[in-house]
Structure 1
Amino acid sequence: MGTQLFDLTGRRALVTGSSQGIGRALARGLKEAGAAVVLNGRDETKLRKAADALGDVHVLAFDVTDHAATRAAIDGFEAEVGPIDILVNNAGMQHRTPLEDFPADAFERLLRTNISSVFNAGQAVARHMIARGAGKIINIASVQTALARPGIAPYTATKGAVGNLTKGMATDWAKYGLQCNAIAPGYFDTPLNAALVDDPAFSAWLEKRTPAGRWGKVEELVGACIFLSSAASSFVNGHVLYVDGGITASL
């Protein structure tokens, strides 16, 4: 069987939050593995720009934090274009403030963006996957699913929830033929981490703390995504795959 296990030809993948960063890198990787790709975000201008760069992809602009809008967009796409075989729940945000000063509105925004979005898109797509008896859902968790760091306690809470929601999805939906897993990136050079990448002291700390001794490159997440999207992971369910240069393995 060889590489056929990882071939995504004939599959269609929706990647949320895919106008930049990890989402766009995963969309590109899935496309190169043979999948038809659907880009998602709230800003259609940014999406169109990303689509122009990737070439021959669908664009589906909607707000994943809005349950009704998410379901309407996904139901409409399935009816008009065809099935979504793979969902990558990548949309997310960060807010860095000491916990004792953390604004309540920022906390609520993190909950909506990092957790509600996974529920909203996951449920909307799963309803169609269940009817077909097959589907792949990949949630983007974080090294913060397992570890905490000062100043981002609410973010850590949301990513812990993503890990457990992934397990719950697998527990409820594996019997219908769905595989629901998560990828937990370590520290990657992305727009979300720009402030940290630009901080020499933090980068020096990270290089010492990470066994691999460096920041990750977004392209290094693609292999894990293809694996979890493909037939190669047909009996992998409820798993959180850390792609972190060894940071969760060492003290």
Structure 2
Amino acid sequence: MGTAQGSLRNEPILQMEHINSEEAVDFECPICFQSLERPVKTQCGHVFCQECHSRNFHASDGKCPICRKDTSFTEQRAMDIEEQMMTKKANCRGCDTQVCLMDMRAHTQTCSKYLEEYGPALDAYTPPQPTPASYSTIETIGWTFTCPYCQEANYDVEDLVTHCCTHHSHDYRRVVCPICALMPWGDPNYYSRNFLTHLRLRHQFDYEHFVDFSQDEELMLQDTILNSFQDCAQIPF
């Protein structure tokens, strides 16, 4: 008995390293924008969830979504990344609780404050089913937006996302999303706690091409993603 207890006392205790939100982004999948799940590393050196990579491989003719280089369907599991995630923790963007990176995806799926800010995670594997309203379009009206950080104007949605992520990646001020503020459901007085993540999760498409304003925000978002996915991937449904 004494020998067994002594053996337990001699086992190393796993030390958790706390990292900030900027460092935690390195452990997020650039396809689903969630913490990596069963990460794989492509031949070009980019890391994705295994399921996200498989889906993207079929949708983009085997091209990496970041650098457009050829990838293999059976890429190597990134065990080094997975091991790092087991020993690192970061603050949840919603409730600010410290969570192990391996558990962050599960945590955000049930964290009420995270869901209130960013909404439920979009399913990167199975596009939502269309509704009749998804085939309604509106005339392109050429919306432009002003950066809420530096007040530079005349950005379309794509350029605003690129500008903010490139020039304001270290700015953690709470700001109003200029895109949401113009929507019928938007609140021009609502300050996002993490605007950059909000942009990456919510505004990876241009609203003016597929929007049907008779729908609520969540249904419109799902239908827009479906139309965009079908348009780009040309996958029959």
TM-score by length of structure 1 reads 0.27
Comparing both chains, which one has the higher relative contact order based on Cα–Cα distances under 8 Å and sequence gaps of 6 or more?
Answer: 1
TM-score by length of structure 2 reads 0.28
The structure in which a higher percent of residues are helix is: 1
